[in-house]
Amino acid sequence: MLHRNIWHEYIQRILVVVCLVVVNADVVAAQDKKEKSPKPNVVIIFIDDMGYGDVGFNGATGPRTPNLDRMAAEGMRFDDFYVGCAVCSGSRTSLLTGCHYQRLSMNPVLFPNSDHGLNPNEVTIADMLKESGYKTACVGKWHLGHLPPCLPTYQGFETYYGVPYSNDMWIDPANKLADDILLREELTLDEVKAGHKERNLVPLMRGEAVIEYPADQKTLTKRYTEESIRFITENKDAPFFLYLPHTMVHRPLAVSKNFENRTGELIWDAIEEVDWSVGEILKTLKSLGIDEKTLVLFTSDNGAAVGSSLPLRAKKGSVYDGGIREPTVMRWPGTIPAGKVCREVAGTIDMLPTLAGLCGGKLPEKKIDGKDIKSLLLGEAGAKSPHEHYALMHKEGTVRSGPWKFYPWKEVKGKKASKDSVPSQEPVQLYHVVNDIGERDNVAAQHPGLVRKFQMVFDAHVAEITANRRPKQIMTRPENPSASANLANRKSKASKPLNWGKIKLGDEFQSRRAPKIAGRAFRISATVKGDEISGIVLAQGGELVGHSLYVKDGNCTFSVRLSGSKLHRVKAPLGNGKSKILARLDSKGVLTLQVNDGEAATAEGGLIKKHPAESLSIGHDAQKPVDGDAPSSAFNGDLLNLKLELIGN
């Protein structure tokens, strides 16, 4: 009996050891499987100027977006998803680096005549993933520097195909031209090398060289899609990162033949073609059997310019939600729960640290501002936003915290919630954006404690960023004799003042020829003649900064735009016959307008801090209007004389 008990105990001990070995083996195997699990492919589709209300899953009734709606059903919508800037370059900086663009000393918008771009010493998503073994490609609009060393090929992308900046810009003669460049619209190589420049005619690049000029904008969405599919197909067996920042739906709008006149509205046609592109990308992933291995993010760089940001307040250029809160979907079948909606605050600034965790990447040594939102993306129970406060310095600034949105500035007439609303007299603004998605009811007076708290948060944010800015990169111009000579000619011509005595209707002068009004007081004097006069007398600028003098409905109007949403006007009646007009912006920023000997009208404004990049137009407005209320027609009267001159030193 004793021997039997000993034997029984011995058998039990052996079974325990065996169980422990099996369990430990399972743990090791699971850990080993986790460590050896394939890294997900990453596709970021970044639309230009597409608003919150431009997609079906957010209630759009004009354009049809079946592929995006299906993507939302198969993935997760992020309903409170923000970008880092309400315009192009700042927003792209934030996405790719995980930093506020001000920290990297970047401008909100770069132009072909800008001399700087994103510093290649900064770590981009592409840099991080390339180091982690990924193949990387950028297909589409770059807009972070169009010359070395700021091009995508210096920023972690192995290949680049696309337009280097916004499609309403022009070509820089310093850009390298490919030997087999395709020239369109009857342009010659000599004309291009001599510095041909025209708005809305932009180059198409591959790598670091221009391969087509001007780019056929009607086919860009289609060609970007084809290039993206080719990259995905060629790299289906290795982890890859595709960054697809579409040129559309930025103005000038254009669509391929299959999408022309589908809806009756060009903006809706363009949205539908972008939706088609998304569908083609998803279809390719499925056909290659890598759908469940691929994380796809769809969002926009800022609010709508032409389309809809409803029901949010405002549009592109504004830090109200309509300018920076974007339609966003993330899809990764089998990993991201399908059909869910995340209502926690997150943003493009969070993608670099989040992808570092998901893809085995290494975070930059330098400070970044984004947070890891993996728990939100995976739909973990009780997951919360890592942002107690999401502050932006763009323009006048804002802070989003939980359901609250704070603005450390007074609501003004030009930025009121709707046509029939009356601006609040409170010195700051506070909205509960969950209950008041349109930001109509300023409740700052009811919550003084929150106002004090958010003001301190914003002030601390500005102070920290300002104290820790990092340098942007000066771009180098290649040793191109034609380009260098052209630039030298530009500089010599820039010093020549305009001969106002020879000015006539229809004239247009490049920005460099116009008086340098940045930070300066100036006056415009003109004599016009005619009955029922209407049209632009003089204009320079666009939706960023500028000034305009025009006649409409019997009134003369002088407009000054200080920034995207800061527009100031002063009006005075204009009779028939001959009229002398004097418009003035004084050193204190006050607008004055006087017609003949009538009473001078005045309005508060400010000095224009940046010289407009657009041409100075006489008798018309050649680019985007400075003032949306100005007539689009050319001036129909006689222009007897005109002069714009600076005041003071």
Give CA–CA dist 449/278, Å, rounded. 45
CA 434 to chain CA centroid, Å, is 25
Neighbours of 178 (CB within 10 A): 16
Give CA–CA dist 508/513, Å, rounded. 10
DSSP string, 215-284: --GGGHHHHHHHHHHHHHHHTTTS-EEEEEE--TTSSSP---GGGTTSSS-HHHHHHHHHHHHHHHHHHH
Ramachandran bin of 116, using left for φ above 0, alpha for ψ from -120 to 50, beta for the remaining angles = beta
Under DSSP, is residue 523 helix (H, G, I), strand (E, B) or coil? strand
- Cα-flanking dihedrals φ and ψ of residue 265, to 5°? -130, 125
Active-site positions read: 88, 143
- What is the b/e burial string over 417-445, where b = at least 16 CB atoms within 10 angstroms of the residue's CB? beeeeeebeeebbbbbbeebbbbeebbbe
User: Which residues does 364 contact at the CB level (< 8 Å), separation at least 6?
Assistant: 98, 122, 123, 128, 352
Residue 541: which of 647, 605, 621, 618 has the closest Cα?
Answer: 621
E-assigned strands of 274-403? 294-300, 329-331, 340-342, 346-347, 390-392, 398-401
Token pair, residue 207, equals 């790598």
Alpha helices in 263-402 (DSSP H): 266-287, 321-324, 351-359, 374-377
Give CA–CA dist 222/72, Å, rounded. 22
| Contact yes or no for 147/54 (Cβ under 8 A) | no
| Contact yes or no for 551/561 (Cβ under 8 A) | no
Separation of first and last alpha carbons in the chain:
115
Under DSSP, is residue 491 helix (H, G, I), strand (E, B) or coil? helix
